[in-house]
Chain A
Amino acid sequence: MNLVPSVFYLRILPEIILSAFALLIMLIEGPARAGSRGRASGWVALVGCLAALAAVLVQAAHPGDAFHAMFRVDAFTVFLHVVLIAATAVVILAAMDYLPQQGIERGEFYALLLFATVGMGFMAGSVELIMIFIGLEISSIATYILCGFRRSNALSTESALKYFLLGSFATAFFLYGIALLYGASGTTNLYAMAAQGLHISFDGINHTGLVLAAAGLVFVGLGFKISAAPFQMWTPDVYEGAPALVTGFMSAGPKAAAFAVALRVFYVALGSTSAAWFWMIWAAAILSMCIGNLGALLQTNIKRMLAYSSIAQAGYVLVAFAALGDAGAAAVLFYLAAYVAMNIGAFAIISHWAHTDEKYVTLSDYAGLGFRFPWMGFCLSIFLFSLIGVPMTGGFFGKLYVFQAALHAHLVGLTVVALLNSALAAFYYLRVIVYLYMRPEEKPIACARFTAPLWLALASCLGVTFWLGIFPSQALDYAVKSAQQLLR
């Protein structure tokens, strides 16, 4: 009688496949010969990701709720699954180049990546606060370990510890927020909350403060994950210390997943009280853009610079977030997709050039590299131009969509701040390009051979960046559809 319908399993098929492959990697890692360790796991993980991407198709063909309406498959879930799993696949490809270079190629790395992706998948698809929390924890714990993956390096260990301590703290805030939301509504299901409305006053008691406190606490937890100001303090240190590729992964996947949760919680569950929390998002957007861009201007370490850049980029996404409605949600989704492609692409190159022990991560190491490695330089330039927001790249169209959504919602002041920030940001991205092409090479840095997986990773990122910039229609339509289904 209580049999779970098999379609429920189809709806979480990507997560099942990813978990199975992650476990498989743990199993083969033990008996594998010392020499071939890691590499085989990398390919297995890649196959797992591709299988999971295929499973997303299956998932998409079976929309609906699963497991007591804890998980929901709609266009929103599918969109994010594609983005998140594809991002992981690219990171895996780049890792096959990066890990051997650093001498840390272990299967666990890939297994942890897959587990993190499982967690992010649940964050994107769950519509129930406890499930969301579990997803958040799965992805966070895997990411904490990944940050410390260069065990012999003090910075890496520091990064892991810092991220873990502050992350746990933020998660506690999130959990507190959940508790308050439950208190205010009597349910943990987001759509149930939306359906019955958060009764700001029921039982004769005014609960405005309660709902606002819940929104604030949830935002603290999520704001930490998306490194939005004023919860960005950890970002530069953690991003600088973590293995470069993990930094790329952290700045993309978990951030996108946290935004997905934020969309579900704020747009759906708290949608009726948007007037109350709107200003919180508005202020966080402005703070993030300004702090991120101003901070990045001063950096000479490229990882640190991109850490500040990612704070600023989170600010742009928050601008779209503040726009509310279909347009806002769709702009958030589109921007995230573009951001993931360009940022992981940039970090893949940075990880390769970092060389053993990540020796070369300051701007001056990049002098003249553009001419020494024309194709690699071209790719990095395109990713940076996309981050600046030059037309014909995904980053530009993403920005355009964000500004358009904000203007449509009559957020003129916010849009002007965002526009000015994007002009300001051009300076530090451009500075990398200046070093690449316009500074003479002083002491040529050592550079390992470029391997096929890295090229594959870069080609995918480059392809997506151009695709989203020149022919964005399909992605755009799907983002709009996702937003509509999210708010249905």
Chain B
Amino acid sequence: MDFINATILSWIIFFPLLGILALLLAKTARAQRLVALGTTIIAFLLSLHLPFHWNSAEGGFQFLQRHAWIPAFHIEYLVGADGLSLWLCVLTTFLSLVGVLVSWKSIQKNPKAFFILLLLLETGMLGVFCSLDLFLFYAFWEITLVPMAFLIGIWGHERRLYAAVKFFLYTMAGSVLMLGCILWLYNLTGTFDFTAIQAGLKGGMFALSTTTETWLFLGFFIAFAIKVPLFPFHTWLPDAHVEAPTAGSVLLAGVLLKMGPYGMLRFNLGLFPRAAHALSSVIVVLGLVGIIYGALVAFVQPNMKKLVAYSSVSHMGFIMVGVFTFSLIGTQGAIYQMLNHGISTGGLFILVGILYERRHTFDLKEYGGIATVMPVYAAFFVWIVMSSVGLPLLNGFVGEFMIMLGTFTAAVAHAHVFAIVAALGVIVGAMYLLHWTRLTIWGELANPKNQTLLDLDGRETAVLAAIALLTLVMGVASPYFLNKTEASTSRVVASLAVPSPRHLRVVRMRPTRCELPTVNCEQPPAGGSQ
């Protein structure tokens, strides 16, 4: 068991690469699909090892594995998981499995290359969430770019070239700045080891001047903000999503976007708390703008895939607000919302993809009254839309509620205003999602082309049922998930509780808040707030 625990993360990360080797040998398309399916299933099962052997009381890293790699630069192969990354790993393997299933029939052109890239992407994403060495992290971060750009560019829709290149260049531009900052940190600290840097910064071994800290913060932040995407860095997202094949969209929305908030929680908050405090209100405002703007733009989209893409901008805005208000419950909510968004938006993209496979159009005008020909589909559609809207009992509600609660009680200026705007965002969110449902599912079946649409087959039903079930489980059994993340989250939040001058000013200005100067670590444990 010790051996498994000591190497499990490497097995999970690199198992898809073994699948690639097997894929190279597979001759027929059917064999290739089966190999890809088998690989992702095993990777998913391997990743389930993590929650089942998780020590919920431990806030630090578990399943650590460390090997010397490039000694001249003090680069190590260092992987580990904590509460921030645990569920994201499981989400990644789950959605990769889903990605293989939804590509079963839709990918007819060169399935071998498609699945090779999908598995490479899975390795990259898992690596991002588990790397604790900054060099390793950056390597995985960049490696996810390549397969994703190919997935969009080769198997995408009409404007795929534009979308693929835009996606690549946008992310590349952000990440080279991050590379510069990583090297800058290395020059200051002499190591790429995240845990050592964090301990050194906390322990005062290396001191960053305020200016340095702000620049480093911004370098990391812009790379992550492009990935989130935070308004105004979001313009690549609608293009990439609309043009990507379904599996690409699912993984892009479900996992790749999560690398942004994950990176902010891990690096921006973990390493540069003072700069995070100083810039938080700007970031929260941008997040709020994203919530409202994304929702409004989604509302007027004639293209349903673009609608879901803009809904991502809106939902990711919530996560940003949760992360940058520095309350335990809000941060927990943000982490939970990352998972929820992965599941629900992944589901929405699958729903869109199923219609596209049948009709080859994303145009909302082409649809209407689908419930009469595809009742099972319609049921899942409404279910998953409800989870995305934030209906109580389903997962979206938990995350949004926690974020809003956290924001409302947070010890930052204008917390109430932030919470109210975020709540408005929920309403606008319900507006466009229900609008979409009305136009697609309900009403008359006016378009004769839709008369003969086939309802879901067994594979599609299974995928959607799994997602629907997860939304319910995550809606009612949230403590199971949140208990495992809480120790790590409180650690992050506690590290942010350094009283900054700005913080003190806020407290002075509002005497009623005096008993809450370090509200962040004294909060009652979140989790089963339902």
Contact = CB atoms under 8 A, between A and B. Distances in A.
Interface of A: 371, 374, 385, 388, 390-392, 396, 400, 403-404, 407-408, 415-416, 419-420, 422-423, 426-427, 430-431, 434, 437-439, 471-473, 476-477, 480
B139 A392 contact: yes
A416 B180 contact: yes
A388 B175 CA distance: 13
A437 B154 CA distance: 7
A416 B177 CA distance: 8
Contacts of A374: 113
B404 to A, nearest CB: 37
Nearest to A434: B161
B348 to A, nearest CB: 26
20 contacts: A374-B113, A385-B146, A390-B146, A391-B143, A396-B139, A403-B179, A415-B183, A419-B176, A423-B172, A426-B168, A426-B169, A434-B161, A434-B165, A437-B150, A437-B154, A438-B153, A439-B161, A471-B70, A473-B71, A473-B72
A438 B161 contact: yes
A392 B110 CA distance: 25
B8 interface: no
Interface in B140-159: 140, 142-143, 145-146, 149-150, 153-154
B179 A434 contact: no
A309 to B, nearest CB: 16
B305 interface: no
B8 to A, nearest CB: 22
B176 A391 contact: no
A434 B172 CA distance: 16
Given A392-B143, A423-B172, A473-B72, A438 B164 contact: yes
Given A404-B186, A404-B187, A423 B176 contact: yes
Name the residue among A374, A419, A476 with the largest chain B CB count within 10 angstroms.
A419
Given A385-B146, A391-B143, A404-B187, A472 B168 contact: no
B110 A434 contact: no
B173 interface: yes
A400 B179 contact: yes
B138 interface: yes
B184 interface: yes
A383 to B, nearest CB: 14
Contact of A434 (B143, B164, B176, B184): B164
Contacts of B69: 473
Contacts of A416: 180
B160 interface: yes
Contacts of A390: 142-143, 145-146
A471 B69 CA distance: 8
Nearest to A437: B154
Nearest to A426: B172
B145 to A, nearest CB: 7
Given A434-B164, A438-B164, A472-B70, A427 B153 contact: no
B165 A430 contact: yes
A476 B421 CA distance: 54
Interface string B99-141: 0000000000010010000000000000000000001001110
A186 B186 CA distance: 44
Contacts of A430: 149, 165, 168-169
A403 B146 CA distance: 22
Nearest to A409: B187
Nearest to B72: A476
B143 A473 contact: no
Given A390-B145, A473-B71, 8 more contacts: A391-B142, A396-B139, A400-B135, A407-B183, A407-B187, A408-B187, A423-B172, A480-B72
A477 B72 contact: yes
Contacts of B138: 391
With most chain B CB atoms within 10 A of its CB, the pick from A407, A408, A434 is A434
A186 B325 CA distance: 70
Most buried by A among B135, B161, B176: B176
B143 A407 contact: no
B173 A423 contact: yes
B180 A423 contact: no
A369 B177 CA distance: 33
A431 B145 CA distance: 15
B143 A403 contact: no
A422 B180 CA distance: 12
Contacts of B70: 471-473, 476
A374 to B, nearest CB: 8
A374 B24 CA distance: 12
B180 A419 contact: yes
A388 B187 CA distance: 24
Contacts of B187: 404, 407-408
A438 B159 CA distance: 11
B418 to A, nearest CB: 33
Contacts of B71: 473
Nearest to A431: B165
A438 B176 contact: no
B180 A438 contact: no
A431 B166 CA distance: 11
Nearest to A374: B113
The 8 closest A-B pairs by CB, nearest first: A391-B139, A438-B153, A419-B176, A423-B173, A423-B176, A391-B142, A476-B72, A426-B172
A403 B180 contact: yes
A432 B88 CA distance: 34
Contacts of A391: 138-140, 142-143
Contacts of A473: 69-72
A419 B72 contact: no
A426 B169 CA distance: 7
Contacts of A415: 180, 183
Nearest to A435: B161
Interface string B65-98: 0000111110000000000000000000000000
Contacts of B146: 385, 390
A141 B460 CA distance: 68
Contacts of B169: 423, 426-427, 430
Contacts of A476: 70, 72-73
Contacts of B184: 407
Contact of B179 (A388, A419, A438): A419
Contacts of B168: 426, 430
Contact of B165 (A408, A427, A472, A480): A427
A476 to B, nearest CB: 5
Contacts of A431: 165
Interface in B175-220: 176-177, 179-180, 183-184, 186-187
B154 to A, nearest CB: 6
A480 B164 CA distance: 39
Contacts of A477: 72
Nearest to A422: B176
Contacts of B145: 390
Given A392-B143, A404-B186, A472-B70, A419 B177 contact: yes
Nearest to B152: A438
A60 to B, nearest CB: 20
Interface string B369-381: 0000000000000
A431 B168 CA distance: 11
